[in-house]
Amino acid sequence: MRFFIEISYKGTNYHGWQQQPNANTLQAEINKALSVIFNSNIDVTGAGRTDAGVHAKQMFAHFDCDTSFDVQHLIFKLNSFLPSDIAVHDIFKVRDDANCRFDAISRTYQYHIVQKKDPFNKMAYLLQKELDIEVMNVATQHIIGKQDFTSFSKVNTQTFTNDCDVMFAKWEVVNSELIFTIKADRFLRNMVRAIVGTLIDIGVGKKATDDVQKIIAKRDRSESGMSAPAHGLFLYKVKYLNNIKV
């Protein structure tokens, strides 16, 4: 039987999601906790592979298990076993062929910026520069739609295609934070942070709004801006079709 597990985490202390030798990763922590509880080797597959230092307000993973269990009891035990910076919110049965990565129909990321030093908010990028949010939002319109986002991706990622369909992108001020929200069917490695870095360049006047179109057309990572720091990035939401549950 296959199950989806909904989690959130603070990525500060982890070398990303993907399990790897000699590194503390989120996938490894969850595998370890499930394997101890079931006294069997459990290996979860994640909906994405967040980079080192990136956080998730909503992430899904799936795992296979033929042992019956009470969902609420398992959630309680997992939250007891896992470190304080990882939380399990839900577990539910899905179709046996369901895949939390490939069955996702959209993913939403948010990037958080603060412009005044705040000792209580270390999960946002402190950027003490004046930003023209209106101009930045004009520039975001150039990334809407299905396009080749090679210019905003790490090189040599061995993806089949670099086409992504961006459905929504917007900057807004929420309380004292500047938040960039972007939704797409898929994202390339480093894509959101590279887009944010480029839009920051536009916001401070280093680039023009129509430069985004030129950067995309070049299909060259060196044409876009620097990657914004990882600690300001959150995987915010992963969406699936309703028929995935059983």
Which residues belong to the active site?
51
- Please calculate the CA angle 155-113-88 and round it to the nearest 5 degrees: 80
d(Cα 152, Cα 143) in Å, to the nearest integer? 11
Residue type, 145: G
Q: Token pair of 136, please?
A: 């930045």
Q: Are 98 and 62 in contact (CB under 8 A)?
A: yes
Tokens of 191: 């894509």
53 dihedral zone (left: phi>0; alpha: psi -120 to 50; beta): left
Asked if residues 221 and 155 have their Cβ atoms less than 8 Å apart, the reply is: yes
